[in-house]
């Protein structure tokens, strides 16, 4: 079973081999999934991965439960995709409808807690950022993730009116990724100094990079010390 | 801007005073800067300036393997390192679709509950110190010392423990582990009574904490406040009961709830949480299952591409990990949902209308750790 | 002889006692105060399950010397825009007031420090309250937000609680009938009982008010480290800060002395006139001997040889003091020394107990917030003190004009005063409950309260 996917990657370094060998029994599909990836950086993992040849368990499966049906009824084309990854549902939605969908989620579907709000950077994609809103419903004891693809330079609607906790969360997204939110009362950096140039969590910001001008001016040292 | 003009109307027509509780201050529990806008002694608004302890942990995560990143996680909420480790290890385990063996789960539960007690002890000592009671701090540190000795015997470290591994545990529980935990728990009831004697009925304490920093349940949920802050406002919800993880579904414990959402209620909720943690520990050590401590994970971890969100009830609130994997040995994105960061947002709402002395009490009652706020 | 020289000699002849005592006060009291600080640190450590200073000298006994040397050699920092003269003057005023007021206190039947003036008590209270100027001037001269806020708070607190303290003292003075310190104690001897048993409410009010007077916890908000750094003392460092600190501890001693004199019987032993209690006269010697015996016992358990020797030294000193106290009791020609020596012992014991109570409260109780502090002073203590004065006055009239038994009269009026106190507290609770059910005043809601 493990032989078939091994063949195309035999010229590869022995590491994937040992990974497959040691973790064979419970993680056979894992190694099968992992096999092609060292060779090429995934271009679009937001889409559910194509089903591997013989896996007993799928990581991501398309989602079509009552909740998804209700959202699709309400918003139609704005719901771009619905997936369940490792038993956690998420909906991919269009950025234009973010405010309405958020309002609907809070008021009708009773997702009263915005547990987390963050972003992921996929630089090779056309819509490079993925805004991730993790919602939790106290009455239903259920979580839902909303993924909103955004292009570089595109702004999103602010969720502060709907969930006031989004205030600092959106400021942090702005600080780290450079995504601006319309309607935010206080759109400025939160963790980094206000004059800092650059948005560190973008993939093109190297880990050793710093705003050397700011560091030199304010700390009086050469960056990198 | 018209807000500023309206705001500047103070009682005597004087200018509004901006007092800076600067990054260096004995009571801000770390490097936190709070700009207080005062009218005399009344607070009209606060603005928190954070980021003094920002270390770019999320960026570092993208350049380390999953196992290499685990020690970094301890250094966020450095007062409760074991909880951070639990959340991270469980999140990666979910990503890998493996489960820790039962023995590992129970030992993890015991360690995490001990860490909850230790974290609350630090909170109690420093909170009481801010309000002026000098003695509870030393009593709390004396108890915490016992817990840290247990940690040291278990994994070699007291503060940033890196106690757990992805897939289970690395270290077997040492020989007298159950005995030590039992001895501590038996002793602890008497010690909690000492704190109660010093503070709970004390009219000065009640005067300083009753109706200070009130946050009702709606505002709590709207602001995302979680943990004891949420429970003190009347919401009987605990992630350990709502979506059990580790071995919590095997033990019975109560969820303490407050009524007013003021500082006194948060104090009572945390005191009761300490008692409940002690009960969980006592239940757990009675029956630690035998078996392996590490699940079947390889030396090289390459989770299949995808993402996961896993959260636990850390001592400070909901601690969440959102990890995106691209199939390589290094995570693509690690996002940490810090409870202190989100609870600190509530400071402005809670502090309005109070006096300067109350701001210190309110910051203390939120129980923030700047390592977690800034990451 | 040259007329100026003659005038000088006459001056010295009249005033030499006062001059010598002034020098003694200025020389000795800072040392005593330093050791009082050490005692506080050791007591605090004991109540907090730790040891306190142990390194400098045996059991930390040279710690005050080390602290003093350090403070003296510290760099003298003056803030940039501070008013230099006032900055220099403020701690001096504070310390001078505290030390001067010590001049009128009497430690024993013949041991007044400077002179037993006929308005002794008034002098002590009045001069010690001049220390307030030191606080206000210090806060102002420091040219800093924190300092001004601390100074204003402290001033308001001191003024309010001085009123209460003064009224409490008035009740005691009504019983004594005089302001002269020695005469007050003699009145207690004449009555045969300490005034604390005749006017307990007054004593209680005075205890509370004196804690607030000396800026001690739970009334130490002006110096609360966790809130305003150190309030009016923020900008003071080195020896200037030491002056303030010494002034505060000297104030503690003064306040303790006043309470002891007026309420606790000064240098009298318990039951001063009861003859069958004369065996109590042996207590000072026995107590000191017991301390010596304990030192001998502990000497065997010391880990290091030098510590053993030290304990033996302390034990010998204790036995020597016990001998000095015991000998006049036994040796007939020396009996005249008994009231003086034993009186000093009892006086010091009572002051120590009083100060121990101060320290104990500091380590146990949290701090009052400023508005709660002022409320306590004005709404509870002052009305209670006024009622107490009325009560004691009525009791004295009942005794003198109507021939009531003194004890009966005082018990009745104390009962009324206590009833009034309970009524006040009930009123206060109602007020607090009403204030808290009306939530804290909302700030004008134009501002978005969720904006970070």
B348 within 8 A of C450, measured Cβ to Cβ: yes
Which subunits count as partners of chain B given 3+ CB pairs below 8 Å? A, C
Give yes or no: residues B154 and B246 share one domain: yes
The DSSP H or E segment spanning C255 is helix C238-262
In DSSP notation, B169-196 reads: ESSPPPTTHHHHHHHHHHHHHHHHHHHI
Report percent pLDDT > 90 for chain C. Answer: 17
pLDDT at C81: 79
Burial string for B16-50 (b: 16+ CB within 10 Å, else e) reads eeebebebebebbbbbbbbebbbbebbbbbbebbb
Structural domain of A93? 60-191
Chain A positions touching C448 (Cβ under 8 A) are: 185
Chain A positions touching C450 (Cβ under 8 A) are: 160, 164, 167, 185
Which subunits count as partners of chain C given 3+ CB pairs below 8 Å? A, B
Give yes or no: residues A99 and A125 share one domain: yes
C414 — pLDDT class (breaks 50, 70, 90): confident
Give yes or no: residues A82 and A149 share one domain: yes
Give yes or no: residues B37 and B60 share one domain: no
Name the nearest CA neighbour of B56 among B368, B352, B375, B296. Answer: B375
A217 — pLDDT class (breaks 50, 70, 90): confident
A50 — pLDDT class (breaks 50, 70, 90): low
Asked if the Cβ–Cβ distance from B298 to A15 is below 8 Å, we say no
Structural domain of B6? 2-48
Q: How far apart are CA B299 and CA B314, in angstroms?
A: 28
Give yes or no: residues A179 and A104 share one domain: yes
pLDDT at C230: 55
Neighbours of B355 (CB within 10 A): 20
Chain C positions touching A167 (Cβ under 8 A) are: 450-452
Query: pLDDT tens digits for A85-114?
Result: 888 888 899 888 899 999 988 888 889 899
Give yes or no: residues B94 and B234 share one domain: yes
Q: How far apart are CA A39 and CA B326, in angstroms?
A: 12
Given CB atoms, is B130 within the 8 Å cutoff of chain C? Answer: yes
Report percent pLDDT > 90 for chain A. Answer: 25
B255 versus A207: the higher-pLDDT residue is: B255
Q: Residue A71 falls within a domain, yes or no?
A: yes
Radius of gyration of chain C, Cα coordinates, nearest whole angstrom: 25
Give yes or no: residues B359 and B223 share one domain: yes
Asked if the Cβ–Cβ distance from B309 to A15 is below 8 Å, we say no
C6 Cβ neighbours under 8 A, 6+ residues apart: none
Give yes or no: residues B127 and B71 share one domain: yes
Asked if the Cβ–Cβ distance from A33 to B298 is below 8 Å, we say no
Give yes or no: residues A181 and A114 share one domain: yes
Give yes or no: residues A141 and A206 share one domain: no
- Token pair of A207 as six digits: 């880990």
- Token pair of B181 as six digits: 């935990």
Give yes or no: residues B21 and B162 share one domain: no
Total domains in chain B come to: 2
The Cα-based distances of C255 to C262, C350, C352 in angstroms read 11, 12, 12
Give yes or no: residues B217 and B365 share one domain: yes
- Positive or negative, the CA dihedral B329, B335, B339, B340 is positive
pLDDT at B248: 92
Mean pLDDT of C59-76: 88
Q: Residue A45 falls within a domain, yes or no?
A: no
Query: pTM of the prediction?
Result: 0.85
pLDDT at B28: 65
pLDDT at B146: 92
| Interface mutation vs chain B, best among C49, C145, C226, most B CBs within 10 Å | C226
Q: How far apart are CA A64 and CA A72, in angstroms?
A: 10
Give yes or no: residues A141 and A70 share one domain: yes
The answer on pLDDT for C424 being more than 90 is no
Mean pLDDT of C173-192: 85
Mean pLDDT of C369-386: 88
Total domains in chain A come to: 2
Q: Residue A213 falls within a domain, yes or no?
A: yes
pLDDT at A48: 64
Give yes or no: residues B26 and B89 share one domain: no
Q: Residue A116 falls within a domain, yes or no?
A: yes
Mean pLDDT of B103-113: 93
Asked if the Cβ–Cβ distance from B45 to C447 is below 8 Å, we say yes
B167 within 8 A of B92, measured Cβ to Cβ: no
A46 — pLDDT class (breaks 50, 70, 90): low
Given CB atoms, is B23 within the 8 Å cutoff of chain C? Answer: no
CATH code for the domain in which residue A88 is found? 3.30.460.80
User: Which range is least confidently modeled, A18-27, B72-81, B83-92, B100-109?
Assistant: A18-27
Q: How far apart are CA B184 and CA C152, in angstroms?
A: 48
Mean pLDDT of C129-147: 83
Asked if the Cβ–Cβ distance from B98 to A86 is below 8 Å, we say no
Query: pLDDT tens digits for C260-270?
Result: 988 988 888 88
Give yes or no: residues B116 and B145 share one domain: yes
Most confident of A50-59, A66-75, B101-110, C396-405: B101-110
The answer on pLDDT for C355 being more than 50 is yes
pLDDT at B8: 47
Give yes or no: residues A98 and A179 share one domain: yes
Query: pLDDT tens digits for B206-239?
Result: 888 988 889 989 989 999 999 999 999 999 999 9
Q: Residue A31 falls within a domain, yes or no?
A: no
Give yes or no: residues B224 and B209 share one domain: yes
Give yes or no: residues A167 and A209 share one domain: no
The answer on pLDDT for C405 being more than 60 is yes
Give yes or no: residues A210 and A139 share one domain: no
A169 — pLDDT class (breaks 50, 70, 90): very high
Give yes or no: residues A185 and A105 share one domain: yes
Q: Residue A185 falls within a domain, yes or no?
A: yes
Give yes or no: residues B77 and B108 share one domain: yes
pLDDT at B122: 93
Given CB atoms, is A116 within the 8 Å cutoff of chain B? Answer: yes
- Token pair of C390 as six digits: 């009325």
Give yes or no: residues B92 and B127 share one domain: yes
pLDDT at A126: 87
Mean pLDDT of C123-134: 89
pLDDT at B139: 92
Provide φ and ψ at C319, rounded to 5°.
-65, -35
Q: Residue A8 falls within a domain, yes or no?
A: no
Distance from CA of C207 to the nearest CA of B (A): 17
Give yes or no: residues A117 and A90 share one domain: yes
CATH code for the domain in which residue B105 is found? 1.10.645.10
Give yes or no: residues A157 and A181 share one domain: yes
Mean pLDDT of B188-203: 88
DSSP β-bridge partners for residue A79: A93
The answer on pLDDT for C132 being more than 80 is yes
Asked if the Cβ–Cβ distance from B357 to C439 is below 8 Å, we say no
The answer on pLDDT for C70 being more than 50 is yes
User: Which range is least confidently modeled, A56-70, B278-292, C306-320?
Assistant: A56-70
B265 — pLDDT class (breaks 50, 70, 90): very high
Mean pLDDT of B66-85: 92
Provide φ and ψ at C305, rounded to 5°.
-65, -40
User: Which range is least confidently modeled, C4-8, C14-18, C393-397?
Assistant: C14-18
The whole-chain average pLDDT of chain C stands at 83
B322 — pLDDT class (breaks 50, 70, 90): very high
Query: pLDDT tens digits for C254-297?
Result: 999 999 988 988 888 887 777 777 777 788 888 889 999 998 88
C201 within 8 A of C414, measured Cβ to Cβ: yes
The answer on pLDDT for B13 being more than 70 is no
Q: Residue A41 falls within a domain, yes or no?
A: no
The DSSP H or E segment spanning C355 is helix C337-364
Longest CA–CA span in chain B (Å) reads: 73
């Amino acid at each position: 079973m493990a032989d078939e996917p091994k063949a195309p990657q035999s010229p590869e370094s022995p590491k994937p081999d040992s990974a497959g060998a040691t973790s064979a029994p419970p993680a056979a599909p894992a190694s099968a999934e992992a096999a092609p990836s060292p060779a090429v950086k995934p271009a679009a993992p937001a889409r559910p991965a194509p089903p591997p040849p013989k896996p007993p368990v799928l990581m991501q499966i398309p989602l079509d439960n009552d909740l998804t049906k209700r959202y699709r009824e309400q918003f139609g084309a704005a719901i771009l995709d619905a997936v369940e990854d490792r038993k956690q549902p998420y909906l991919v939605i269009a950025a234009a409808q973010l405010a309405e969908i958020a309002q609907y989620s809070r008021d009708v579907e009773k997702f009263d807690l915005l547990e987390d709000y963050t972003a992921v950077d996929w630089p090779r994609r056309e819509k490079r950022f993925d805004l991730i809103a993790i919602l939790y419903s106290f009455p239903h004891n259920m979580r839902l993730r909303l993924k909103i693809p955004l292009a570089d330079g595109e702004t999103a609607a602010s969720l502060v009116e709907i969930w006031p906790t989004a205030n600092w969360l959106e400021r942090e997204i702005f600080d780290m990724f450079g995504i601006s939110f319309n309607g935010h009362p206080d759109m400025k950096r939160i963790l980094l100094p206000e004059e800092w140039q650059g948005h560190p969590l973008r993939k093109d910001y190297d880990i050793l990079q710093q705003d050397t001008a700011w560091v030199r001016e304010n700390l009086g040292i050469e960056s990198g010390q | 801007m018209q807000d500023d003009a309206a705001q500047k109307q103070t009682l005597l027509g004087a200018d509004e005073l901006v007092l800076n509780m600067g990054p260096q201050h004995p009571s801000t529990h770390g490097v936190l800067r709070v700009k207080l806008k005062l009218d005399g002694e009344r607070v009209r608004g606060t603005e928190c300036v954070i980021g003094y302890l920002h270390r770019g942990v999320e960026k570092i995560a993208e350049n380390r393997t999953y196992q290499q990143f685990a020690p970094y996680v301890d250094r966020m909420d450095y007062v409760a390192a074991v909880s951070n480790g639990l959340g991270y290890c469980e999140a990666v385990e979910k990503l890998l679709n493996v489960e820790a063996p039962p023995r590992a789960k129970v030992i993890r539960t015991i360690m995490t509950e001990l860490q909850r007690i230790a974290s609350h002890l630090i909170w109690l000592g420093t909170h009481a110190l801010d309000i002026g009671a000098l003695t509870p701090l030393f009593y709390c540190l004396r108890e915490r010392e016992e817990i840290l000795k247990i940690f040291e015997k278990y994994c070699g470290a007291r503060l940033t423990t890196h106690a757990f591994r992805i897939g289970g545990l690395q270290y077997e529980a040492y020989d007298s582990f159950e005995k030590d935990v039992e001895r501590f728990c038996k002793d602890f009831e008497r010690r909690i009574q000492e704190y109660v004697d010093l503070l709970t009925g004390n009219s000065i304490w009640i005067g300083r904490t009753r109706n200070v920093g009130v946050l009702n349940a709606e505002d709590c949920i709207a602001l995302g406040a979680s943990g004891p802050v949420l429970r003190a406002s009347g919401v009987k919800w605990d992630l350990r009961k709502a979506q059990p993880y580790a071995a919590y579904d095997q033990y019975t414990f109560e969820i303490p709830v407050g009524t007013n959402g003021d500082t006194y209620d948060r104090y009572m909720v945390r005191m009761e949480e300490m008692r409940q943690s002690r009960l969980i520990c006592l239940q757990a050590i009675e029956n630690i299952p035998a078996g392996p401590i590490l699940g079947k994970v390889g030396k090289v971890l390459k989770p299949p591409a995808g993402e996961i969100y896993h959260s636990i009830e850390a001592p400070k609130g909901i601690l969440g990990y959102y990890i995106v994997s691209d199939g390589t040995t290094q995570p693509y994105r690690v996002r940490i949902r810090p409870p202190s960061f989100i609870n600190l947002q509530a400071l402005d709402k809670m502090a309005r209308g109070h006096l300067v002395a109350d701001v210190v009490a309110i910051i203390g009652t939120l129980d923030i750790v700047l390592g977690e706020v800034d990451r | 002889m040259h007329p100026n020289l003659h005038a000088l000699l006459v001056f010295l002849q009249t005033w030499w006692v006062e001059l010598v005592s002034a020098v003694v006060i200025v020389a000795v009291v800072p040392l005593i105060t330093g050791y009082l600080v050490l005692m506080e640190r050791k007591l605090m450590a004991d109540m907090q399950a730790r040891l306190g200073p142990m390194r400098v000298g045996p059991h930390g006994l040279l710690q005050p010397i080390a602290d003093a040397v350090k403070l003296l050699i510290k760099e003298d920092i003056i803030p940039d825009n501070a008013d230099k003269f006032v900055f220099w003057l403020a701690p001096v005023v504070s310390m001078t007031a505290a030390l001067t007021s010590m001049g009128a206190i009497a430690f024993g039947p013949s041991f007044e420090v400077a002179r037993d003036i006929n308005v002794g008590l008034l002098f002590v209270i009045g001069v010690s309250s001049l220390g307030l100027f030191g606080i206000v001037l210090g806060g102002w001269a420091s040219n800093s937000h924190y300092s001004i806020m601390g100074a204003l708070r402290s001033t308001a607190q001191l003024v309010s609680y001085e009123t209460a303290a003064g009224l409490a003292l008035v009740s005691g003075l009504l019983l004594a009938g005089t302001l002269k310190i020695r005469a007050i104690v003699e009145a207690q001897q004449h009555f045969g009982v300490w005034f604390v048993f005749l006017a307990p409410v007054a004593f209680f009010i005075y205890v509370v008010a004196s804690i607030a007077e000396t800026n001690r916890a739970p009334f130490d908000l002006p110096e609360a480290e966790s809130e305003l750094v150190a309030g009016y003392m923020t900008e003071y460092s080195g020896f200037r800060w030491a002056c303030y600190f010494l002034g505060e501890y000297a104030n503690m001693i003064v306040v303790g002395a006043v309470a002891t004199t007026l309420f606790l019987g000064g240098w009298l032993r318990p039951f001063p006139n009861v003859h069958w209690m004369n065996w109590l006269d042996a207590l000072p010697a026995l107590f000191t001997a017991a301390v010596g015996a304990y030192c001998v016992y502990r000497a065997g358990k010391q880990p290091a040889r030098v510590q053993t020797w030290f304990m033996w030294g302390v034990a010998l000193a204790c036995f020597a003091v016990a001998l000095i106290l015991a000998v006049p009791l036994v040796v007939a020609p020396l009996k005249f020394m008994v009231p003086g020596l034993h009186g000093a012992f009892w006086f010091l014991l009572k002051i120590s107990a009083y100060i121990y109570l101060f320290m104990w409260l500091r380590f146990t109780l949290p701090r009052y917030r400023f508005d709660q502090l002022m409320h306590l002073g004005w709404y509870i203590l002052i009305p209670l003190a006024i009622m107490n004065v009325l009560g004691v006055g009525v009791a004295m009239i009942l005794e003198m004009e109507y021939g009531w038994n003194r004890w009966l009269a005082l018990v009745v009026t104390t009962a009324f005063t206590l009833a009034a106190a309970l009524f006040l507290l009930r009123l206060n609770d109602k007020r607090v409950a009403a204030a808290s059910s009306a939530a804290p005043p909302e700030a004008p809601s134009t501002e978005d309260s969720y904006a970070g």
